[in-house]
Amino acid sequence: MAWISLCELDELKPGEGKYVEIDGYQLAVFIENDKVFVIDNTCPHAGGNLAGGYVDDGCAVCPWHYWAFRLDSGELKDAPGVKVATYQVRTIEHGGKQLVQANLPMP
């Protein structure tokens, strides 16, 4: 595992996702109630872009078929057996900027 910088905190907007591709990972980054979440970007249903969706009631909603995944656990809201990966997140200050980092498994 390694802490990898994904974006600056001020790039995130409540209710919207930000797509980040880094080191082979396709991630969706969200901020909700001043807390940052990082989940896999690809919806397991039909491959939708979760970062291109919106946040509703603490869930990232896929823009294709409206599947809603809990930001905190990655579980599908209506069927907890279906989930996307979530990643541990932190913010750090570097060079006067607040950076969002995720703890990603590295080979």
Question: Which DSSP string do the residues of 22-82 spell out, in sequence order?
Answer: ETTEEEEEEEETTEEEEEESB-TTT--BGGGSEEETTEEEPTTT--EEETTT-EETTEEEE
Q: Which range marks the domain in which residue 58 is found?
A: 2-104
Residue 107 has what pLDDT?
Answer: 75
Which candidate, 88, 71, 76, 62, places its Cα nearest to that of 31?
Answer: 71
Residue 14 belongs to a domain with what CATH number? 2.102.10.10
Name residue 101's amino acid.
Answer: Q
pLDDT computed for residue 106 by the predictor:
84
Digit-coded pLDDT (tens) for 9-67: 999 999 999 999 998 999 999 999 999 999 999 999 999 999 999 999 999 999 999 99
pTM assigned to the model: 0.96
Domain count of the fold of the chain: 1
